[in-house]
Amino acid sequence: MKDIIRWPGIVFALLLVCLEYFLLEPLLKLMIEETGSRALSTSVTLDTVQIDWSEQSLTLKGLEVADKEHPMTNMVEVDHLALQIDALDALTGHLISEQANILGIQFNTPRSESGVQDSTEKTADKSSESDDPVSLPGLDLPDIDSLVSKENSLTYKRYQSFRQYLDESKVTYKARLAALKDKQKIADYKARFKDIKKAKGFMEILNSASKAKDLKNDIDKDLSEAQQLNRDFKQTKKEVKRRIAELKNSPQQEADQLLKKVGVENGTQKISQLIFGPEMKAHIENFKKWINSVNDSDANTDENTESNNAKKPNPERGKGVFVQFSQKNPLPLVWFKNTQLSGDLSGIGQEFSFKGTATHLTDQQTLSGKPTSLDLDLKSDLVKNAKVDIVVDIRTDQKLSLSFDVIQYRLDQKPLSGNFTIDSALLDTQGSISSINDQLSGNINAELNAVSLKTSGDTFKKYPSIEQALADEEHITAKIALEGTLEAPKIDINSNLDSIFNSVLKKVVDAQLAGYKVQVTEKIETMIQQELNSSESSQSELLGMGGDIAGSQDLFKNLMGKL
């Protein structure tokens, strides 16, 4: 035994173990920083790591995860992270904890040094924020000159049709009258009459009786035509009168139609959509970014797993290739089964601190087999009570749901869209939003009490009564329904603000419309005045033909009488 065992060597080995014990904390710190940086593709740093062997617990202090896009900013900073861990799991790189405390979570804090990684690929921010200028629908009336033009005027078209009718009637009646009162024909009738009268002797008289019968038939035909012409003319006179009357009323009718067409109607405006719609869209955009970040981290983990699954030997010397064998119960890299959370959200623009619990926080939900849930109580001087519950389930589909209940959240100087500002209000709101594979659904109820709603800009300068009515309202309720997709959400907002706004709008628009209608009517009348004057001569010319038409009937009656 003495020949084989080196007793001082045992002491040396024990010394090495002790040294390792003391070096383990800095080694673990290094390992966490490197593994975390690789897994998240961004710089992960730690201040200290403490191991408590008796409690089998690990405490990480000053954890900072750099923002990939902004290297001088921490995406997340955690003051204190205490975990109860399984040592063997930890040695194999799996951070599995039954009970964890993550305290002092902060977002978007400044970094002392850049967190840029060599492999970090900067991607251009493709999000295009559309700053559509917002205007109140239906209040701005269009310019009369652009609204009324000869090309589009109904009255002018009617006038043109009337003018054409006059011209065509004139031509028709002239032709029919000329055919009736043909001089050659009349002279022929007179000659045939004289010839009949000249008849003497039995045979001649018998022959002329036959001729008289033929003449009578011909005159009868012309008489019938003259009577028909007379009837038609009476009808034409009636039509001319009707069209003149129609033209007189036309400008007013056209004004009504034009005003309808440009949408100057009242009672249907959705002012709440205008005021709260962009606000809701911004919230949904944040929700979408959050979902994308969850999906990205999941994709990163999958990529890392896939890279480990390489089957062919890597030619790189001294490293080899890890061949992966399936495990009966594979573990995720990180899995905190029950976690106490605390921190504040000021870094993401919310004036809240939070405290709560999370279950099954993990980087690979498919391996933990459980959805991640967070129940948070939000605290702030501005709010009496606020709770947020979040459930993330990305095991098969991308399911995310968020529900909240906020009581008496004080809003001060809260800018909204459309030049509106909530000067002060107390908000009570409950709602739930969920997304399954980009499909969005949700319902939110909001109640604002002790509201002081103000407007700025020129929107209401012309309509002080609307501004006043909105400012006077102290209680606003809104029901918001969400559907569609995250890319194109459909937001339907119903609020009592709509009826308040619409009743005031009706009064304003009615008064405004009365004046506008007169202007539009006058414009149309002026536009076609000249044409109407020129048509008067044409009318009198047509109507003047009445004497000739009536005379043609008498002419044939006389001829018939003589016969």
Partner 1 sequence: MFTILAKLLQFLNSNQNPHQLALAVCFGLAIGLMPGFSILLILLLMMVCVIKANLSLLVLVWGLFEAVAYIADPALQQLGYVLLSAEPLQSIWFSLAQSNFWALTAFNNTLVMGSTLAIIALWLPVYFLIRVLIVKYRQKIQDTFKQFKITQLLKGSKIFHIYQRLGN
Instruction: Give the binding site for partner 1 (CB under 8 A).
Output: 3-6, 9-10, 12-13, 16, 88-89, 91-92, 311-315, 317-328
- CB closer to partner 1, 8 vs 561: 8
Give min distance, CB of 30 to partner 1, in A. Answer: 14
Q: How far apart are CA 430 and CA 481, in angstroms?
A: 12
Residues in the chain: 563
Dist. CA 40–CA 299, nearest whole Å: 10
Helix axes 496-562, 271-308, angle to 10 degrees: 120
The owner of tokens 């019968």 is 213
* Minimum separation from the CB atom of position 321 to partner 1 (A): 5
- 10/191 with CB nearer partner 1: 10
Whichever of 114 and 324 has its CB closer to partner 1, that residue is 324
Of 330 and 415, which CB lies nearer to partner 1 in the complex structure?
Answer: 330
Residue showing tokens 């993330």: 392
The distance of closest approach from Cβ of residue 38 to partner 1 in the complex, given in angstroms and rounded to an integer, is 15
Beta-carbon contacts of 543 under 8 Å, excluding residues fewer than 6 positions away, are: 237, 240
Residue 353 pairs in a beta bridge with 344, 379
CA distances to 220, 333, 362, 374, 396 from 366, in Å:
105, 12, 9, 18, 8
Alpha carbon distance 287, 485 (integer Å): 12
From CA 32, how far away is CA 62, in angstroms rounded? 13
Sign of CA dihedral 346, 438, 430, 271: positive
Q: Cβ of residue 52: shortest distance to partner 1, in angstroms? A: 20
Residue closer to partner 1, measured from CB, 133 or 315: 315
Which of 9, 561 has the CB closer to partner 1? 9
Q: Which helix (H) or strand (E) holds 427?
A: strand 420-436
Q: Are 495 and 276 in contact (CB under 8 A)?
A: yes
CB of 96 to partner 1, least distance (A): 11
* Nearer to partner 1 (CB atom), residue 184 or residue 327: 327
CA atoms of 249 and 244, how far apart (whole Å): 9
Smaller CB distance to partner 1: residue 198 or 312?
A: 312
Min. distance of Cβ 381 from partner 1 in angstroms? 49
By beta-carbon proximity to partner 1, the closer residue of 72 and 91 is: 91
Least Å from the CB of residue 93 to partner 1: 9
Question: How near is the Cβ of 23 to partner 1 at its closest, in Å?
Answer: 13
Are the beta carbons of 538 and 163 closer than 8 angstroms?
yes
> Which residues partner with 98 through β-bridges?
none
What's the token pair of residue 367? 């391996």
Whole-number minimum distance, CB 21 to partner 1, in Å?
Answer: 14
334-344/95-110 β-pairing = parallel
